[in-house]
Amino acid sequence: MNYKILIMGIIIGLIAGSVFGYFAFSSPKLQICPDEWYINKMPPEPIFGERQYFIINGKRAEISSFDIDWVKKNCNIEPKIVV
């Protein structure tokens, strides 16, 4: 068996699998204007989890799911600080 062909096949398979995995499992960020935007500065420190979040239709939505640059550019919203 020609090991050169085997190695090339493995390399091509790894590259193709990586590309497929990236596009199949990376979720696009949401481009939706939230109703409210909060920054939580309440104690105790340290806090686990995200300190910023949005409110959409009365429910909390994690900011990490959103395209924050799009929100800043397209939505008329300023963060409210909770202390």
Q: What is the pLDDT of residues 14-58, one digit of tens each?
A: 888 777 777 666 678 899 999 999 998 877 666 566 688 999 999
Bridge partners, residue 38, by sequence:
53, 80
**Residue labelled with tokens 């008329």:** 76
Report the predicted TM-score, pTM, of the whole model to 2 decimal places: 0.60
Q: What is the pLDDT of residues 69-82, one digit of tens each?
A: 999 999 999 999 88
Please give the pLDDT value at position 19. 75
Burial class (CB in 10 A: 0-12, 13-18, 19+), 53: buried
**Residue labelled with tokens 């924050």:** 68
CA distance 76 to 20: 37
Over residues 60-67, mean pLDDT: 90
